[in-house]
Amino acid sequence: MKKALVTGAAGFIGSQVVRELQKEGIEVRAMIRPGEPLDNLTGIDCERVQGDLLDADAVKRAVKGVDTVFHLAAIFSIWLSDWSRIYEVNIQGSRNVLWACLKSGVERVVYTSSIAAIGIAPGKALSNEDTAFNQYTLGNHYVLTKYLSQQEALGFARNGLDVVVVNPCFPFGPGDIAPTPTGAIILSILKGLNRFSFEGGINIVDVRDVAKGHVLAAKNGRTGNLYILGNMNVTMDDFMAMVFKAAGINQPFIPKIPLPILKVAATGLTWISDNFTQKPPLSTPAEVDYAKQYLFFDNSKAKNELGLVPGPVEKSLNDSIEWFRAKGYA
């Protein structure tokens, strides 16, 4: 690997991938959506090109002359007034990138999917890369587009393109501008907006470990394989307690909101967004239905085959909280 293209390079994970590649001495070309905030690329000296994934010619130009492509660009949203854009970007945009890679002779593609594209095992059992997708009926457009776009990538892998798929879990850490769902939970606690927990669980991982996993996948991953990039499985109760402790907030008892109440509240908030504000609600019924599951994952394949060794999540939480506070988020 000598020169790599990173799509979504100004994003939370993408910017960390750029940094990780530069540590390895790899020349980086960063593809950035026109008008996208560039805060996460501050201080990073690399080639930058603007382009929309739906502009096939722009994608071809971006891919030309690189040997490795890290495709991270995608839309994440729990609510949109028009869902067509998320399907166009996440599926057709990915298809444009994969076609360009195939035609230009790119040596390897690391395709960033999500644990949303992997099925959920029952109860608190761990899901792995072989757990069949079973989230069709959620009505969650992001989850569905990530699964469908992952299938596109695997199809290209079966037809001659060297594609390795990585499936990040719930990342957090410095640079979470949006913020991500994990970051939003941390931020809501720091702001004093959330003092409650709910049923379910997640797999948390430092965004910098996710970036390392991308680079390791380019080096060591097997074509057509999925690799879960995660670290610690925690219930929402445990995660909330960890955040309170890291933030220095003393709350010995964390009450749990019953799921039916969460669902009713999310339904009301979504109705207000649909009919009045046209802005994303705090939550939606589809998001509640996904989050109420125990999203626990086995990361042993990434450890054993890629050589990924995630760091302690406690330090990562401290770093995340320090960044939010330093940037004035809380």
pLDDT digits (tens, 9 = 90+) for 260-288: 999 999 999 999 999 999 999 989 999 99
Cross-strand pairs, 31: 7, 49
Instruction: Give the other-Cβ count within 10 Å of 262's Cβ.
Output: 20
Cis peptide bond prior to 168, omega within 30° of 0: no
When pLDDT is averaged across residues 306-324 and rounded to a whole number, the result is: 96
pLDDT higher than threshold 90 for residue 211: yes
| Distance between CA atoms of residues 191 and 109, nearest Å | 40
Sequence letter at residue 306: L
| pLDDT greater than 80 at residue 251 | no
What pLDDT is attached to residue 194?
84
CA distance 165 to 248: 38
Over residues 310-329, the mean pLDDT reads: 96
**What's the whole-number average pLDDT of the chain?**
96
pLDDT of residue 180: 92
**Mean local confidence (pLDDT), 295-317:** 97
CATH code of the region 3-175+204-232+297-311 = 3.40.50.720
Q: Does residue 252 surpass a pLDDT of 80? A: no
Cα–Cα distance between 82 and 135 in angstroms, integer? Answer: 21
Q: What is the pLDDT of residues 62-71, one digit of tens each?
A: 999 999 999 9
Query: Cβ–Cβ contacts within 10 Å for residue 260, how many?
Result: 9
Gap between the Cα atoms of 202 and 181, Å rounded: 11
pLDDT for the residue numbered 192 = 86
- Tokens (6 digits) for 161: 């393109």
Average pLDDT over residues 19-33: 97
For residue 290, give Cα distances in angstroms to 126, 179, 201, 284.
Answer: 16, 18, 10, 10
Contacts of residue 180, Cβ cutoff 8 Å, sequence gap at least 6 = 12, 76, 170, 171, 172
The reported pLDDT for the residue numbered 276 is 96
What is the predicted pLDDT for the residue at 155? 98
Q: Which residues contact 261 (CB under 8 A, 6 or more apart)?
A: none
pLDDT at 250: 87
Residue 84 has a pLDDT of 97
Q: How many residues does the chain have?
A: 330
Q: How many helices (H) and strands (E) does the chain have?
A: 12, 12
Whether 303 shows a pLDDT value over 80: the answer reads yes
pLDDT in tens, 156-169: 999 999 999 999 99
Q: What kind and span of H or E run contains 165? A: strand 163-168
pLDDT score, position 193: 85
pLDDT range class, residue 253, cuts 50, 70, 90: confident
Q: Provide the pLDDT confidence category of residue 243 given band limits of 50, 70 and 90.
A: very high
User: What's the alpha-carbon Rg for the chain, to the nearest Å?
Assistant: 19
